[in-house]
Amino acid sequence: MALLQISEPGMSTVPHQHRLAVGIDLGTTNSLVASVRSGIAEALPDVNGDLLLPSVVRYNEMNSVDVGKTALAHASSDPLNTIASVKRLLGRSVEEMDWVANHLPYEFDQSDPVMPAVITRQGNKNPIEISAEILKVLKDRAEQTLGGELQGAVVTVPAYFDEAQRQATRDAARIAGLEVMRLINEPTAAAVAYGLDQTEEGVIVVYDLGGGTFDVSVLRLQKGVFEVIATGGDTALGGDDFDAVILEWVLQQLPGLDVSSHKLMRALSMQVREVKETLTTEPECNFEVGIDSPSKLTLTRTVFDELIHPLVKKTIRTCRKVLRDAEIELDQVMDTVMVGGATRVPLVQAEVSEFFGREPKTDIDPDQVVAIGAALQANVLVGNSQDDQVLLLDVTPLSLGLETMGGLVEVIIPRNTTLPVARAQEFTTFKDGQTAMSIHVLQGERDLVSECRSLAHFELRGFPPMVAGAAKIRVSFQVDADGLLNVEAEEVSSNTRASVVVKPSYGLTDEQVEAMLRASVEHADTDMRQRQLLEHRVEADRVIEAITAALKADQELLNESETADIVAAVADLEQAKAGEDGDDITNAIEAVEQAAATFVARRMNASVREVMAGKTVAEFTEE
C-alpha cells in the first residue's frame, strides 16, 4: 500500500542520494541504534558485533568517560562514579529525589532545584549530560557503520513521558550532536516495526515493559495510519523493579549483610539481574552472595514468580484501564505486541496471554523492536522512502489547560488528543480597567489548580483598559509531534501578544504520573461539586464588585432605604459566599439583583440622558 510520504521542509531526497538517518532507543538498561540499509531496518553493531549498549556511564580517573560494557565492568568497584538507569532521573527535580535515595547508590548535589546532579570525580553531572554521553556513542557507532555523517535521528521516549522528560531527552540528543527530527513514543515505534507488513486494519495493543518504564498503548491502524487512541503506564516500573524484589529477598535471607557498602550493594545489583535472566530460561538459580565469605542461595522460578506477581498484575490493571479509556473491548484487539527485555520473563508472557486471550507477537527481538521502528520512521522523515510510508499520530498523555478565577482549571486540550494539535479559547477580564492578565498553564485531570501540575506562568501586558468582560483574550495551545507545548495569549482588539514555550521544572514524580488519572476518577463527584461551588463564588465576587463600584459612582440616585436594602443584600451574599452551599449563593445573587433592579434602571436612564444632552433625536439618529 502506498501511503503518505512525510518529509520535513527542505529534506526531500535528491534522486540516487540516500540520506543517513537512524532510530535510537535510549533505554533504561540498554540502548540501541538502528537504520534502514538496502531497504531493511536493522540494529547497528559496534566493532565487537554487539548490538546492545548498556546504558551505563563512568567518569574515570583519566578524566575521560567510559560508556557501555567498559563502564558496567566498574560498576561494583567504582559505584559512585558509574551511573546506570539515568533515564529514571531525566526530568526530575529536587522535590522528586526521595525515590532516588532508596534505589540508586549515588550522591547528589541538590543545589539546583530544577535539575539535581550526580557528584562524580569529574564534577557534578546532570542527567541530561550523562544521557548525552550514551547518545554520543550511538551516534559515532552509526556514522562509522554507515560511512558518513548523520542527517537526522528519531529518538524514542516512553509514551507516558511528560513535557519535561521529553524536553530533557531532546536536550540530551542536541548535546550529543544529533539532529532530532522527531521524538516518538516507544510503543508507537514498536507498532511501526510490526505493522508495515500488515494489510488488514484493526486495533493493536503494545505492551512495553523495559528496564525502568512500563507503557501500554492502544493503536488503531486505518488506511496506513497508526493512531494512538489511548495510552497509559508507569515511568518507574520495569525490569529493574524485578531486580529490586530479588535483592530484597536476598537481604531477608541474609540479614547480616552490610547494606551501607556501596561496593557490595552494586555487586548485588548486578548479581540479581543475572539471577533474573537465568530464571527466564531455567527453573532455579544457585548463586553466592558476599565478598569475603560468600553465602550460597537458591532461588526457584516459583518463588521468583510470587515475588514479582504484584508488579506484573499492576501492569495488567493498567492494560484494563487503557482499554477502557480507548472504549475498546478485548475481542476487538487484533494483535498484542511485546516490547522490552523484561517481557522475556515467563510470568509476564503468561499473564499477558491470559488477559488478552491470545499469544502476543514476539517475532522481532523485544530489545530491538523499538529501535527498528524508529529507524523506519527516520527513513521516511529524512526523505529516503518512496513507498510504504507510515504516518504516526500520537496523543497527549495528560490534559492541558489554564487556571481561571476561583482556582479552577479550564481544559484546552484533553488527554488522549491526537498530536500534533492546536486549540484556542477566548477569555475575558474580571475587573474594570484591567490592562494585564496572568496566564498559568497546567497539566492534569482534576478540576482544581491545587490538584494539577504547574507547567508555566507568563503575563499578557499592555492591552487597553476596558470595562470588565469587554476584552477578548484568545489563548492558543500548540503541541507539536514531539509532545512539546507552546502557549500564546493575544488581546484581539489591540493585537497585544505574549507567549511561552513550556520548558517546565523537570519531571513528574512516579506517584504523580500514576495518581493523576486514578484521582480524577476517584474524586470526580467531589471535584464536580467543588467546581460548581467555586464558580458560584466567582460569580458572587463579580456581582459584589460591580454593585460596589456602582454605589461608589452613583449612590445619589438612591434614597437611604433603597441603599440600605442593596447593602443588606450584598452582606447576605458575602455570608452565603463564605458557606459551602452553591444554591445559597445563587439565591443570594438573585436577591442582590432584585434589590438593585431599580438602581440599575436609573443608572441606565442617567447614562442615556448624558449621551443625548444638547442633541435632538434626529441629530442622534444621524450619528
- Predicted confidence (pLDDT) at residue 301 exceeds the cutoff of 90: yes
Query: Residue 527: pLDDT band by 50, 70, 90 thresholds?
Result: low
The CATH number linked to 54 is 3.30.420.40
Helix axes 597-612, 582-595, angle to 10 degrees: 50
DSSP letters for 417-479: PBSSEEEEEEE--SSTT--EEEEEEEESSSSBGGGSEEEEEEEEE-PPP--TTT--EEEEEEE
Q: From 394, 417, 404, 480, select the one nearest 449 (Cα to Cα).
A: 404
Out of 371, 393, 415, pick the residue that ends a domain. Answer: 393
CA distance 623 to 349: 80
Q: Report yes or no on 146 lying in a domain.
A: yes
Q: Report yes or no on 481 lying in a domain.
A: yes
Averaged pLDDT for residues 576-605: 82
What residues contact 256, with CB distance under 8 A and at least 6 apart? none
Decide: residue 310, CB within 10 A, 0-12 exposed, 13-18 middle, 19+ buried: exposed
Cα 155 → chain centroid: 15
Q: Report yes or no on 280 lying in a domain.
A: no
Residues 530 and 595 in one domain: yes
Residue 440 CB coordination number (10 Å): 17
Query: Residue 482: pLDDT band by 50, 70, 90 thresholds?
Result: low
Residues 378 and 446 in one domain: no
Out of 376, 393, 410, pick the residue that ends a domain. Answer: 393
What residues contact 617, with CB distance under 8 A and at least 6 apart? none
Query: Residue 510: pLDDT band by 50, 70, 90 thresholds?
Result: very low
Q: Report yes or no on 429 lying in a domain.
A: yes
Residues 555 and 407 in one domain: no
Q: Write the pLDDT tens digit of every residue in 223-250.
A: 666 677 888 888 678 888 999 999 999 9
Decide: residue 455, CB within 10 A, 0-12 exposed, 13-18 middle, 19+ buried: buried
Helix axes 369-381, 186-195, angle to 10 degrees: 80
pLDDT at 504: 42
Decide: residue 532, CB within 10 A, 0-12 exposed, 13-18 middle, 19+ buried: middle
Query: Residue 197: pLDDT band by 50, 70, 90 thresholds?
Result: very low
Q: From 1, 6, 40, select the one nearest 383 (Cα to Cα).
A: 6
Task: Using CA atoms of 368, 373, 376, 381 in order, give the dihedral in degrees to the nearest 10.
Answer: -130
The C-alpha cell of 597 is what? Answer: 433592579
Contact 457, 449 (CB under 8 A): no
Considering 52-56, 161-165, 221-225, 485-489, the range whose residues carry the highest mean pLDDT is 52-56
Structurally, the chain folds into a number of domains equal to 3
Q: Write the pLDDT tens digit of every residue in 340-357.
A: 889 999 999 999 999 999
| Residues in the chain, total | 623
Mean pLDDT lowest among 252-256, 461-465, 614-618:
614-618
CA distance 72 to 467: 66
User: Which of the 8 DSSP states describes residue 523?
Assistant: T
Residues 81 and 225 in one domain: yes
Q: Report yes or no on 290 lying in a domain.
A: no
The C-alpha cell of 454 is what? Answer: 504547574
Out of 473, 507, 541, pick the residue that ends a domain. Answer: 507
- Predicted confidence (pLDDT) at residue 278 exceeds the cutoff of 60: yes
Percent of the chain with pLDDT over 90: 27
Selecting among 66, 162, 163, 186, the annotated active-site residue is: 186
pLDDT at 33: 97
Residues 441 and 541 in one domain: no
Residue 90 CB coordination number (10 Å): 27
Q: From 298, 335, 549, 512, select the one nearest 434 (Cα to Cα).
A: 549
Query: Residue 391: pLDDT band by 50, 70, 90 thresholds?
Result: low
Selecting among 25, 133, 171, 451, the annotated active-site residue is: 25
pLDDT at 498: 85
Side chain identity at residue 550, one-letter code: A
**Is the omega angle on the peptide bond into residue 420 within 30 degrees of 0, that is, cis?**
yes
- Whole-Å CA distances, 401 to 229, 243, 484, 544, 599: 20, 39, 14, 28, 39
Query: Residue 393: pLDDT band by 50, 70, 90 thresholds?
Result: low
Contact 240, 85 (CB under 8 A): yes
| 208 belongs to the catalytic site | yes
- Predicted confidence (pLDDT) at residue 453 exceeds the cutoff of 90: no
Residues 457 and 545 in one domain: no
- Predicted confidence (pLDDT) at residue 622 exceeds the cutoff of 80: no
User: Which of the 8 DSSP states describes residue 504?
Assistant: P
Residues 472 and 602 in one domain: no
Query: Residue 277: pLDDT band by 50, 70, 90 thresholds?
Result: very high
CA distance 41 to 369: 10
- Whole-Å CA distances, 264 to 63, 146, 256, 260, 593: 25, 41, 12, 8, 75
Q: Report yes or no on 119 lying in a domain.
A: yes
Q: Report yes or no on 288 lying in a domain.
A: no
Query: Residue 556: pLDDT band by 50, 70, 90 thresholds?
Result: confident
Residues 196 and 164 in one domain: yes
- 541 compared with 274, residue with greater pLDDT: 274
The CATH number linked to 462 is 2.60.34.10
pLDDT at 226: 66
- When the pLDDT of each residue in the chain is averaged and rounded to a whole number, the result is 81
Cα 73 → chain centroid: 33
- 306 compared with 397, residue with greater pLDDT: 306
Residue 333's domain spans which residues? 21-238+306-393
Selecting among 46, 78, 87, 577, the annotated active-site residue is: 87
Contact 58, 118 (CB under 8 A): no
- Predicted confidence (pLDDT) at residue 195 exceeds the cutoff of 70: no
| 107 belongs to the catalytic site | no
Residues 369 and 404 in one domain: no
pLDDT at 4: 36
What residues contact 327, with CB distance under 8 A and at least 6 apart? none
Cα 282 → chain centroid: 38
Q: Report yes or no on 4 lying in a domain.
A: no
Query: Residue 66: pLDDT band by 50, 70, 90 thresholds?
Result: very high
- Predicted confidence (pLDDT) at residue 517 exceeds the cutoff of 60: no
The CATH number linked to 563 is 1.20.1270.10
- Predicted confidence (pLDDT) at residue 6 exceeds the cutoff of 50: no
Residues 127 and 150 in one domain: yes
Selecting among 96, 208, 367, 403, the annotated active-site residue is: 208
CA distance 377 to 3: 13
Q: Which helix (H) or strand (E) holds 350?
A: helix 346-356
Residues 607 and 497 in one domain: no
Residues 179 and 46 in one domain: yes
